[in-house]
Amino acid sequence: MPDIIISEFMQPSAVDDLRRDFDVHYDETLYKRLDELYAMGRDARAICIRNETEIRGAFFDAFPNLKAVGRLGVGLDNIDVPACQQRGIAVLPATGANEVSVAELAIAGLMMLVRGTTYFATPDVAAGKWPRGRLIGREVSGKTLGIVGFGRIGRHVARRAQGLDMTVIAADPHVPADDPVWARMGVEKVSFDRIWDSADALSLHLPYTPDTHNLVSAEVIARLKPGTILVNVARGGIVDESALAAALTSGHLGGALLDVYATEPLPADNPFQGVPNLILTPHIGATTDEARVRTGHMIADNVRAVLTGTIPDTAIV
């Protein structure tokens, strides 16, 4: 029976690193076959996953000797962290490995949407049409970006927005007003109310919790400035999707980029069919060649550390 099970995609070079020291079973579709996964879990001391493998409930019965869960990403929605802590299992997120990729997607979406429908004009232009009049957009320079959640990814977004001459404000109750990061980065800490009322664009970078469920509600969307751009590359469930679709259809909002959804993949009856000024991507923010390499090797190193008696600084124990 293997020492380490990898049930979803992991960078092959990182898998090879682990195989030099451990008996590794790697099958990137194993998460789809729970009976098979659980059958080989008895002796496993570590498992490496993305966001499809559920670490909760019956999983723990099948993995009685588990010491580490390597999360090839940062979201922990699919891991019962308290249950892991009770069992002495170290949870190892890939903290920092995909920040640049996620931040770049947020900024790219923002810049596209501020220009209105310009980037959706390819079929018309290729057909010989010249629809310049309806493609007049706006500049990001001089606009105010409101960042909701000023953690590591939010700060990457802030730096890039400042490089585009945007004014950046941020709301995060978990970052104290006296934290030196505010002055160091030149970002004003504000309330949620201030963000909703004054931002020209919103970028969400906070976890999904009961407190953040539908944080961007129908009421919040209604009070946003006309033409506001909304970017969510954080977690589904933070935005009221039906209210967002209605606000885009009515023209109240200027555009939105969503990379995450309350249900993934989207169900057939989702509210986004035919909605204008909307970019939908399939939870791809953290998935670039560079991020995959960084993530894979970080998790390989951290799993090795736990199995040889060292707890990494980023571990949740």
pLDDT tens digits, 46-79: 999 998 999 999 999 999 999 999 999 988 989 9
Q: pLDDT tens digits, residue range 283-294?
A: 999 999 999 999
Exposed/middle/buried for 25, CB within 10 Å: 0-12, 13-18, 19+?
A: middle
- Which CATH number goes with the domain that contains 200? 3.40.50.720
CA distance 205 to 185: 17
What domain count does the chain have? 2
Residue 197 lies in a domain: yes
Contact call for residues 78 and 100 (beta carbons, < 8 A) = no
- Residue 75: predicted pLDDT: 85
Catalytic residue status for 264: yes
Question: Is 314 within the bounds of a domain?
Answer: no
Residue 313 falls inside a structural domain: no
Burial of 230 (0-12, 13-18, 19+ CB in 10 A): buried
- Catalytic residue among 45, 50, 235, 294, which? 235
Predicted confidence band of residue 296 (pLDDT cuts 50, 70, 90): very high
Residue 74 maps to a domain: yes
Residues 106 and 135 both lie in one domain: yes
Tens of pLDDT, residue by residue over 127-156, are 999 999 999 999 999 999 999 999 999 999
If DSSP codes are grouped into helix, strand and coil, which group holds residue 18? helix
Looking at the fold, whether 153 and 219 belong to one and the same domain comes out as yes
Judged against a pLDDT cut of 90, whether residue 1 lies above it is answered with no
Structural domain contains residue 254: yes
Helix (H, G, I), strand (E, B) or coil at 238: coil
Taking only the tens place, the pLDDT of each residue in 87-97 is 999 999 999 99
Asked whether 94 and 74 are in contact (CB, 8 A), the reply is: yes
Q: Specify the 3-state DSSP secondary structure of 279.
A: strand
In this predicted structure, what is the pLDDT of residue 314? 95
Cis peptide before 265 (omega within 30 of 0): yes
Note the Cα 143 to chain centre separation in Å.
Answer: 24
Q: Per-residue pLDDT averaged across 252-270, rounded?
A: 97
188 among known catalytic residues: no
Tokens of 304: 């090795």
- φ and ψ of 304, to 5 deg: -60, -40
Are the CB atoms for 147 and 158 separated by under 8 Å?
yes
Residue 35 CB neighbours (<10 A) = 7
**DSSP, residue by residue, 122-181:** HHHHHTT---GGGG----STTPEEEEE--SHHHHHHHHHHHHTT-EEEEE-TTS-TT-TH
Mean pLDDT calculated for residue range 75-84? 95
Please, are residues 92 and 68 in contact by the beta-carbon 8 Å criterion?
A: yes
Classify residue 40: in a domain, yes or no.
Answer: yes
Domain identity same for 65 and 186: no
274 shares its domain with 162 = yes
Q: Active-site residue among 45, 155, 205, 283?
A: 283
Are residues 48 and 164 both part of a single domain? no
Same structural domain for residues 91 and 212? no
pLDDT digits (tens, 9 = 90+) for 171-210: 999 999 999 999 999 999 999 999 999 999 999 999 999 9
With 90 as the cut, is the pLDDT of residue 29 above it?
A: yes
Mean pLDDT of 1-25: 97
CB 49 within 8 A of CB 66: no
- Identify the sign of the CA torsion 172, 174, 180, 181: negative
% pLDDT > 70, the chain: 100
Q: Which residues of 167-176 are buried (b: 16+ CB within 10 A; e: fewer)?
A: bbbbbbeebe
| Domain identity same for 17 and 83 | yes
pLDDT higher than 90, residue 106: yes
| Active-site residue, selected from the candidate residues 139, 188, 219, 264 | 264
Q: Are residues 37 and 19 in the same domain?
A: yes
Q: For this structure, is 235 an active site residue?
A: yes
How confident is the model over 222-245, as a mean pLDDT? 98
Q: Give the residue numbers spanning the domain of 199.
A: 99-280
